[in-house]
Amino acid sequence: MVGLGSMAGYGIQSMLKEGHRHLSGLEEAGLKNIDACCELSAITRTSLGPNGMNKMVINHLDKLFVTNDAATIVNELEVQHPAAKILVLAGRAQQEEIGDGANLTISFAGELLGKAEELIRMGLHPSEIIIGYTKAISKTIEILEDLVEKGSENMDVRNKEEVVLRMRSAVASKQFGQEDVLCSLVADACIQVCPKNPANFNVDNVRVAKLLGGGLHNSSVVRGMVLKNDAVGSIKRVEKAKLENYAKTEEAKVEELIKAVADSGAKVIVSGTAVGDMALHFCERYKLMVLKISSKFELRRFCRTTGAIAILKLSQPNADELGYADSVSVEEIGGTRVTVVKNEEGGNSVATVVLRGSTDSILDDLERAVDDGVNTYKSMCRDSRIIPGAAATEIELAKRLKEFSLKETGLDQYAIAKFAESFEMVPRTLAENAGLSAMEIISSLYAEHASGNVKVGIDLEEGACKDISTLKIWDLYVTKFFALKYSADAACTVLRVDQIIMAKPAGGPRRDAQPGGGMDED
């Protein structure tokens, strides 16, 4: 029988493995968690809105990101703290659901937790705060329904003006000042590939090709695909091309096979692997253009663009296996040779936005703005309702929730009042990021809203409060709905935690440990 002397420690120490960590109680677990979440939201908050600042993040692979896109920032930060991870997950859920509004989700959740800390220090129990927050978010969703612009639920998703109106604020928050150029490009691309039933819109059908050089004004939309590689061989341009897709090529009987392909009327061969010299020689002889696409995903998109069917081995294709493109040509854009596959009349399956910019990080940021625009288009295909942007909605929510909290009895009214106060974070942040006085802006917004002007928001360019319907700043209802819902859920999840028990990390060398015992590189 083992003597109890060999079991070190008492209580939870004797129960768990050596090397574990155990934090419990409000001070150690609750407030520490809130602190970590507030730190994370303080990082993303300064990037909120059109005047948001950029962050320079260098990830563990030494890749540099210069962006104000909260989803990218928190993904690359590799957050370790378990409570802050919950906020990261809320931001990621928002990014996957809507594709925009991750910053609002994380910043607002951080603000809610900051207010909850004040209440805990006042002596409220976390469960009372959670009850209050839950009541507040249900009321918020009711009020949001009220603020929807009349008549915005019916929308023609192929009408460029209406699309740009709803897309502008999402793109402007990433690329302020260039939203008009970008929205026009994105709207064109989306409308081209929009299927008969808009609810089936696939984000993957709008591709982005980033080419260095030039500026945003050189960017364009191509109906079809832009491949970032040159054609193999000397034939660089084919009009009205029938396409034949291959994944593999064989050497034996090459000429006979290639002649069979040429006889079937195909003018372009697309291969998924390298093309042998002999095969290439015969392709040249029969005036076949050869393209190589090594990525299988890109190959599938290519098949979607042209309507071709990929064949596994080289053989004479049937007529229905051949695809069609108006023209396949190699062009030089800014010193880069690209293959442009245009399909003007044929199926409108893929469109490519060709972005131009001076550095890689600018191009990456432009691509994120385009992604946001395309995702917003997808959301508006499902639900096109809009609500006032530029912090008008937030101030109205804050005002109405404060009135609601005064009618409540019990301790949760304090939590509801704090929830209402948290909405002030949005106008305050927008004003601070634009270098305006936050107190003045918020008080004049409240004054306007108190006199019944529900649509008054901040005009950041003039630093004054204006009716946003004249400025045309609208947010999608679904973006706001999910962002507020996810952040309230995340905040309540963090507040429910009263103990953290961390097991000893698994063995194996640490990733940041230096190989070779920290010796010099040379």
Average pLDDT, the chain: 82
Same domain, 290 and 250: yes
- Does 473 reside within a domain? yes
Residues 23 and 64 in one domain: yes
SS3 content of the chain, % helix, strand, coil (to 5): 50, 20, 35
Q: Is residue 280 part of a domain?
A: yes
pLDDT at 5: 46
pLDDT band for 249, please (50, 70, 90 cuts): low
pLDDT at 217 over 60: yes
Q: Are 284 and 318 in the same domain?
A: yes
- 376 and 395 in a single domain? The answer is no
How many domains is the chain built from? Answer: 3
Span 7-37, pLDDT tens digits = 556 777 777 777 788 877 777 788 888 999 9
- Give me the CATH number covering residue 262: 3.50.7.10
Q: What is the pLDDT of residue 472?
A: 83
Assess if residue 509 is contained within a domain: no
Per mean pLDDT, which range of 89-103, 319-333, 366-380 is the poorest?
319-333
What pLDDT shows up at residue 252?
54
Compute the residue count for the chain: 522
Tell me, yes or no, whether 140 and 44 share the same domain. Answer: yes
Q: How far apart, in whole angstroms, are the C-alpha atoms of residue 318 and residue 296?
A: 22
Is 220 in the same domain as 354? Answer: yes
Assign 356 to helix, strand or coil.
strand
Q: Are residues 222 and 255 in the same domain?
A: no
Domain, as residue range, for 308 = 233-323
Residues 380 and 393 in one domain: no
Residue 332 belongs to some domain of the structure: no
Last residue of a domain, one of 340, 366, 384: 384
Q: Percent of the chain scored above 70 by pLDDT?
A: 92
Residue 417 lies in a domain: yes
Residue 110 banded pLDDT, cuts 50, 70, 90: very high
Q: Is 333 contained in some domain?
A: no
- Asked if residue 211 and residue 356 are part of one domain, the reply reads yes
pLDDT at 486: 92
The answer for residues whose C-beta is within 8 angstroms of residue 379's C-beta and 6 or more apart is 98, 99, 100, 476, 478, 479
Burial class (CB in 10 A: 0-12, 13-18, 19+), 131: middle
Cα–Cα distance list, 363 to 25, 44, 218, 354 (Å)? 48, 21, 13, 10
The answer as to whether 514 is a domain residue is: no
At 387-441, the pLDDT tens digits run: 888 888 889 899 999 999 898 888 888 999 999 999 988 899 888 888 888 899 8
Q: Are residues 50 and 122 in the same domain?
A: yes
CATH number at residue 360: 3.30.260.10
Look at residue 277 and tell me if it is in a domain.
yes
**CATH code of 498's domain:** 1.10.560.10
Residue 84 and residue 21 in one domain: yes
CB 257 within 8 A of CB 232: no
Residue 113: what pLDDT?
92
H helix or E strand, kind and range, residue 351: strand 351-357
Residues 221 and 245 occupy one common structural domain = no
- The token pair at 107 is 């910043």
